[in-house]
Amino acid sequence: MKKIIAIILSVVMLSLPMSTYSKAEGADEKQVKVGIVTGTMSSDRSSYEAAKKMVALYKLKNKDKNSNDEIKHFVLPANSNGAKKVVDKIVANEDMNAVVFSGNDKNMLGYIKDIKVKRNDMLLMGADLNMSIEEMSENLNLSFVPTETSSGKDTAMLAKEMGAEAFVVYYSDKDLKENKNLSKKIEDMKKECTNQNIEFAEVKVADINSKEDEYKVKKFISEDIEKQIYKYGKNVNLYGTNSTMDDVIVKRGIKERLIIAETSDGCIENDLNELYRTIMKTPERGNFRGNVSLLAGKNSKYNMDRRVGGLLMPNDTFAIYSAVDTAIAALEQDINENKLCMASFIEKSISEKDGISGAFRNAKSGIKNVKVTYVDQVIY
């Protein structure tokens, strides 16, 4: 079973030939500057938001004097002329030590090649890019590819860890059709529940195609939860396959003190923040580790200690966190290519920088500098 602590994750990364990417002499005093390049909020929302949170986290570290490193977010506008100006700005910044590229901009590979030619002293990283493994391996020193879905086995194991005696999955045909990995995940949940002696049940829910459908689905699940409590008691874990289901599951689950090992997108943080009306200052939004403690405290007020869990952060967000932290550690320590690709180095870098941990595997046999990221779970 993967480690489950107050903060745990899984990562994946890429790395390519490295020559001399390091802080200059006086490494303890010199500041490392890392740029994160994404599309706009409308074109690359997940990458854009993750970059903003990473910038906020390092500003918080600067304020607390836990780091003097600087993270800067560069946003590529939709028009090519504007994007070229952003690239030129990065190239002209002699203090910039590394750049992390993320998002699905169709011209991203061209921008990477341009910077690579003009700044061969810069460490180039990838995180959740819309490129082939081969393209990332050839053009970037290190890249992280987020896994498409979390493990059903791990979800069931986490539910067991939190005391689940029954596990109920709410699903719709539409969700199964749109998410090619979902059927396997549910099957893995079922197998692991059998291994863990947990009662398992699947409840089919109507497809959602309108606001009226949303209301009907919420009403159906809310009423069905009562039946599941009557049948299994309060130690029942609830899982839904879309955000509409999440909404009613989280609200009813906390009200009835049931178990929620994971939401449909893996990470329950946003659901809890909305439910508890948590107001978070901008610099604190990127501090996922600190937010676990904050939300765990709110859970205690509802007698929900160790009844809620999930991924510490979304997998695509974790890819960017991994790339930035690993780049900084690599520059500080002047490491070679082999060490950069070692899972032990990545794990140590992320743990020391942000207090989080993860697991790694090669995205493809024979390519060591492209890794798949797996975010581990947390219990609130």
SS (H, E, C) 101-169: EEECCCCHHHHHHHHHHHCCCCEEEEEEECCCHHHHHHHCCEEEEECCCCCHHHHHHHHHHCCCCEEEE
Select the more confidently predicted residue: 313 or 261.
261
- 277 C-beta neighbours (distance < 10 Å), count: 7
Q: In what order do the strands lie in the sheet with 166-171?
A: 199-204, 166-171, 236-240
Least confident of 35-39, 206-210, 303-307: 303-307
For residues 109-125, average pLDDT: 95
Classify residue 336 as exposed, middle or buried by CB count within 10 Å of its CB (0-12, 13-18, 19+): middle
pLDDT-derived band at 354, boundaries 50, 70, 90: confident
Q: For each of the domains in the chain, give its residue range(s) and CATH number, in order of start.
A: 33-146+315-375 (3.40.50.11400), 152-265 (3.40.50.11390)
Cα separation, 161 vs 173, in Å, equals 29
Instruction: Write out pLDDT tens, residues 259-279.
Output: 999 999 888 888 888 888 887
Place of tokens 């947390």: 378
Q: Strand, helix or coil at 259?
A: strand
Instruction: Write out pLDDT tens, residues 166-204.
Output: 999 999 999 999 998 999 999 999 999 999 999 999 999
Select the more confidently predicted residue: 182 or 8.
182
With a pLDDT cut of 70, the percent of the chain lying above it is 91
Please, how many CA atoms are within 13 Å of residue 346, restricted to the half-sphere of its CB? 33
Question: Given CA atoms 233, 236, 240, 245 in this order, what sign does their dihedral have?
Answer: positive
Select the more confidently predicted residue: 314 or 5.
314
Q: What is the mean pLDDT of the chain?
A: 88
Q: Strand, helix or coil at 47?
A: helix
